[in-house]
Every structure is written in structure tokens, then in C-alpha cells.
Amino acid sequence: MRIAWNALVVSTAIAVLVISASCSKKTDGGPEANTATIPGAADSTRTDASAATSNKEKKTGTPSDPLHPLVELQTTMGSIVVELDAKQAPLTVKNFLKYVESRHYDQTIFHQVLKDYAIMGGGYTENLSEKEARGTIRNEAQKSGLKNVAGTIAMVRRPDSHDSAVCQFFINVSDNPQLDYKGPSAEEYGYCPFGKVVSGMEVVKKIAEVQVEDKAIAVPGKAEKAEFERLPRQAVVIQSARCLDGQARVSKAEGRGAQSSEVVR
């Protein structure tokens, strides 16, 4: 059962990265059904310069801004503050804030790290136990128009279903336009950004530089082992995830889409 970056396939300038999006949301498709594919450009010259240009029209949020709430991820390597965009991605923000409010992300880890590409977390504890989660949500990649530029936070999903994101998220370390919406098929639908790092990008970059390893662990009740790829050798723990004003603002973040913001089960 592959849990982390299943494969790094480089063909000309394209690298394919396969990662988990299950968060204990069971399927009948076997071990591979819970993996999500993130294709990424392998060009080492990419930078995070456009983090300040793409999506820059939105002002930095404040604790009193219900459409752009701030969430702090306090990690063992430092603090990361993300500004969420409930105006452009209301369903995704609502989902994320519910997990923040329920303390789901507390004591989870960044369990998949790829230098100069992305870091992923939100699904596993330090002992690599998978946390229970709710149902899948609709993919707002097309509707939102937000781009996977350096510093943005986006949801992980399975490659065979665009509406399959649950609880796991990733932060783009570099610009990854290949993750943006390109078309209606699952392969082209893209990955939905729903916010951006406004403080602590240096922490994100430090996490992206940690030493990683591949690791297989026994799963209780299963003969097949779970395989974690590109797992940090020393755990990078999200000690807490909190809205800076102390409120998750779930109801306010829904905005006009109150009736359409229910998770898809």
C-alpha cells in the first residue's frame, strides 16, 4: 500500500508524483485507490517569484476579515500563517476550517516532502497512524481561477476523481502551473488552491530541505505494508492549527454558497 510519493517519473521536463489522499476515507478500489497524482515540472530553475504577482490582487487578510481568515500552523520548525480565500474557494475553505476547528491537524505531520516542489501533510500522526476524516469535497479548481504558485496551499486528491479531496493539503514550494485546471477530465481538472502563505515561507522552504527516506510499516489487520516515500527522517510535526482570532469562522466563510457547501459523500 503506497502512502507517499509513489513514483518520481521524469520524462523530458515532467515529473509525476503520486501521493495519498485517503485520510481514512475508505474505498473499494484496493490499496492504489487512495492515491493521488500530482504532475510537476522538473525544471530546477523555477522560483517562487510569482507568489507575489499571481493572486496578488487580494489584500492580506486580517483576523476580522471573514472572507480571508488567517490560520497559523505552528510546527516544530516554526510558524506558518496562511490566508484563506473563501471568496474564490468557499467550499474548500469551509472544509479546511472544519478540520481546524475540530483540532484534526494538531499533532499531524508533513509526511511527504519534495525539494523545490511541494510539502504535504494533514493526514498522519508522528507514529504514522492515519487520522479519521469526513467525506470528499467538490473540486473548485475551475471555478476559483486560483493558481498553484509558490506559497499557495491546495488540496490533495486522487488522480481518477477530481472531487476526491478530503483532509490532506500541500503547500507549493515553487510555481506549479501543471497543477492548475486545464480541462474537464480528472487528469486535467487540477488541484484547488484555497489560500496562500503570508508569513513563514522561509519555514516552508526549510521543511522542503529536510532529509527524507522511504519507509514501509506494518498495518494492523493487513498483510500488505504501508509504504511512505519521501518521509522526513526527523518528523516535522504540526503542533497546532488555529485561526488567529480564535474562531474557525465556518459559517461566515461559506458566504453565498451556504446551500452548496456541504461535503460530497
pLDDT tens-digit readout, 16-56: 344 444 454 443 333 333 444 355 433 433 444 444 344 44
Tell me the C-alpha to C-alpha distance, in Å, between residue 167 and each of 97, 98, 136, 209, 221: 10, 10, 8, 24, 24
Q: How far, rounded to the nearest angstrom, does the alpha carbon of residue 99 sit from its chain's CA centroid?
A: 13
Runs of H (alpha helix) within the chain: 90-101, 141-144, 201-208, 250-253
Domain 8-257 CATH class label: mainly beta
* Residue 104 bridge partners (DSSP): none
C-alpha cell at 83: 490566508
Of 78, 38, 66, 57, the C-alpha closest to 170 is 38
More confident residue, 21 or 78: 78
pLDDT at 226: 86
pTM: 0.77
Runs of H (alpha helix) within 3-139: 90-101
pLDDT at 68 over 90: yes
179 near 207, Cβ under 8 Å? no
Tell me the C-alpha to C-alpha distance, in Å, between residue 226 and each of 2, 196, 198, 222: 6, 31, 34, 9
pLDDT at 125: 97
- 3 falls in which pLDDT band (50, 70, 90)? low
253 near 261, Cβ under 8 Å? no
Average pLDDT, the chain: 79
How far is Cα 191 from Cα 160, in angstroms, rounded to an integer?
13
Helix (H) or strand (E) holding 193: strand 193-199
pLDDT at 42: 36
| pLDDT tens column, 101-160 | 999 999 999 999 999 999 999 999 999 999 999 999 999 999 999 999 999 999 999 999
- 209 falls in which pLDDT band (50, 70, 90)? very high
Q: What percent of the chain has pLDDT over 70?
A: 68
pLDDT at 74 over 60: yes
pLDDT at 245: 74
What pairing do the DSSP bridges indicate for beta strands 8-11 and 14-20?
Answer: antiparallel
pLDDT at 215 over 90: yes
Round to the nearest angstrom and report the end-to-end CA distance of the chain: 23
C-alpha cell at 114: 519534495
pLDDT at 62: 55
pLDDT at 60: 52
| pLDDT tens column, 149-160 | 999 999 999 999
- 218 falls in which pLDDT band (50, 70, 90)? confident
pLDDT at 65: 86
Q: What is the mean pLDDT of residues 217-230?
A: 85
C-alpha cell at 12: 523530458
pLDDT at 164: 96
Of 153, 140, 126, 157, the C-alpha closest to 72 is 153
| pLDDT tens column, 238-249 | 999 999 975 544
What pairing do the DSSP bridges indicate for beta strands 152-155 and 70-75?
Answer: unpaired
